[in-house]
Structure 1
């Protein structure tokens, strides 16, 4: 047996005796049950296990050495359990971990020692918790981290050197309470995709993305506090963008030369603004565009020249 899927059952108790004789098991799914406690060393006989998901159960905490002998575990999902704390004593038995998912776990912080015992981590999902701040060099022990999801927390500020040394493919910070990005927050790091949507950020903060913006492929600044003039200024150095979300910004007009640097842009979301008109020059400046979202604006009609240009775009939503 390589894979065992026990999701959506009525399991309330899990004992090590239940799992004996499954030494070849590589994948175990226990999501959406009613498990409220898992004792230390419960999984010790699963020496080949690589994927373990226990999402959306009723765990209130994690027992020390709960994952004893799971040396090959690469993916662990604890999402939707009110564990409230991550302890290095719990995770030190899974040094090969590549993906850790702890969304909706009631976490207010993660101890730095946790990251030291799982240094090979590539994906960290901490969405929808109660994290209020990140320390300088918070992730300094996670040199392999590529995807970091912090959406839906209560982070107010990004401090200097928060992401120092990281080469992130994606950084999710949507739906926080962010009002400030310190000048050196993105110093000595790289980020290809970032989601800042639904924060209170203004242009003075966005300027501090300068160390990373020239290499970025995907930016989402929907529902933030930035004016059309500042959007244009912000985008001047974002020359490699392929995907851009500018929805819900109250952009009642698109300024001339707004997208002159975005010759590689493929996907543009302008939905839920107050747009009544699109200058044809804007469309001509986006030769690579294949998807354009214009829903929930205030168009009352479009000139034929605009319609002909829109006809060249593969996917237009109005």
Structure 2
């Protein structure tokens, strides 16, 4: 009996020791998980659900940090000196959802840099030194919604750069070195809603540049070098609600330049070089409520081109060199009938002829407006 009791006690002791060792291993693993954090960074952890936020903002980092907590979901790395993103940089943080890398010195991105980040929703690369995007470098980011690439040196865009990004909703590319938009360049971005291409050097747009962007709602081409818009270029943008073409070099619009924009509500073409508007240029835009044509070279406009825009609420026509002769009568007549708010009416003034210079358009008497042969 004694021997059997000793054996039983021994087995119990062995079992207790094994359980104790297993428990210690679990405690050590948990401790390591909680404590994993780059030395110069601050990590804060939520308990429900278990997630860590890693704040390495402006900490003098020169390379992408290691020793990241495996449950990290937000990673703040802005204003450091990181120069490149190597392959599988995010392998240790499979739950990552948001990465801010703005204002670093990133020049190169390995095509597999983001291959492990299946849950990533926001990637901010604003203000780096990126000249080229890796082909198919974002193809594993199936959940990415927001991609910020502004203030870099990207000069060329190709469709393969955006391969696989079928859930992207917001693409920001202002302040880069783009000069042209080739055919099908955004075709993979079937759910894109916002596209910002402002403050580039875009001179030409392919007629098929916007193919595939059926859900796009906002397109910003402000501050580029566009002289013309090819016929039908905007036709794929059936959902577009706002188009910004301010501060370009547009001197004319073809009759089909704005075709397909039946859902457009706001159109801004301020500070261009427009001298003439085709009679039917706005005919398909029945939903247009805001139209800005100020700061152009318009001398006269046929008022009938606005008659089809039944929802028009605001129209900006100031800072144009209005020639107040018989050709402007239809515009003055329409201005007197419309319910739309016109740009500060006291700023709508004649530039010519000399006898009417600086005269307010609203004060003109139609029967005294002459046309000189």
Whether TM-score is above 0.5 comes out as: yes
The counterpart of 1:139, out of the listed 153, 159, 162, is 162
Tell me which moved more, 127-136 or 270-279: 270-279
Partner of 1:163: 186
Partner of 2:340: 313
CA contact (8 A) 2:88 2:114 kept: yes
Is 1:227 paired with 2:275?
no
Query: What SS does the corresponding residue of 2:315 show, helix, strand or coil?
Result: strand
The counterpart of 2:153, out of the listed 124, 130, 143, is 130
Tell me which moved more, 174-183 or 301-310: 301-310
Is 1:86 paired with 2:109?
yes
| Deviation (angstroms), 1:257 | 3.7
Unpaired segments of 5 or more residues in structure 1?
1-13
Q: How far apart are the structure 1 equivalents of 2:43 and 2:253? A: 64
Is 1:195 paired with 2:224?
no
With over 3 angstroms needed to count, the CA separation of the structure-2 counterparts of 1:50 and 1:281, relative to structure 1, is: farther
With over 3 angstroms needed to count, the CA separation of the structure-2 counterparts of 1:73 and 1:295, relative to structure 1, is: farther
Q: How far apart are the structure 1 equivalents of 2:136 and 2:282? A: 44
CA contact (8 A) 1:84 1:107 kept: yes
Partner of 2:205: 181
Q: How far apart are the structure 2 equivalents of 1:300 and 1:27? A: 62
| Deviation (angstroms), 1:162 | 1.8
Partner of 1:112: 135
Q: How far apart are the structure 1 equivalents of 2:101 and 2:69? A: 18
Partner of 1:9: none
Partner of 1:249: 272
Q: Superposed, which structure 2 residues align to 1:91-102 within 5 Å?
A: 91-102=114-125
Q: Superposed, which structure 2 residues align to 1:280-295 within 5 Å?
A: 280-294=303-317
Query: What SS does the corresponding residue of 1:177 show, helix, strand or coil?
Result: coil
Q: How far apart are the structure 2 equivalents of 1:163 and 1:174? A: 16
Q: How far apart are the structure 2 equivalents of 1:216 and 1:242? A: 8
Partner of 2:68: 43
Q: How far apart are the structure 2 equivalents of 1:194 and 1:30? A: 33
Query: What SS does the corresponding residue of 1:262 show, helix, strand or coil?
Result: coil
RCO greater where, 1 or 2, for CA within 8 Å and sep 6 or more?
A: 1
| Deviation (angstroms), 1:76 | 1.7
Q: How far apart are the structure 1 equivalents of 2:41 and 2:124? A: 25
Deviations 1:223-271 (A, max 9, x none): 33433442x4312432221111111222245554442222101222223
With over 3 angstroms needed to count, the CA separation of the structure-2 counterparts of 1:119 and 1:297, relative to structure 1, is: same
With over 3 angstroms needed to count, the CA separation of the structure-2 counterparts of 1:174 and 1:18, relative to structure 1, is: closer
Q: How far apart are the structure 2 equivalents of 1:164 and 1:236? A: 19
Query: What SS does the corresponding residue of 2:231 show, helix, strand or coil?
Result: helix
RMSD, aligned CA: 3.5
Q: How far apart are the structure 2 equivalents of 1:194 and 1:69? A: 37
Unpaired segments of 5 or more residues in structure 2?
1-36, 348-373
Q: Superposed, which structure 2 residues align to 1:260-279 within 5 Å?
A: 260-275=283-298
CA contact (8 A) 2:231 2:256 kept: no
| Deviation (angstroms), 1:277 | 5.9
| Deviation (angstroms), 1:93 | 3.6
CA contact (8 A) 1:159 1:184 kept: yes
Q: How far apart are the structure 2 equivalents of 1:39 and 1:175? A: 30
Query: What SS does the corresponding residue of 1:117 show, helix, strand or coil?
Result: coil
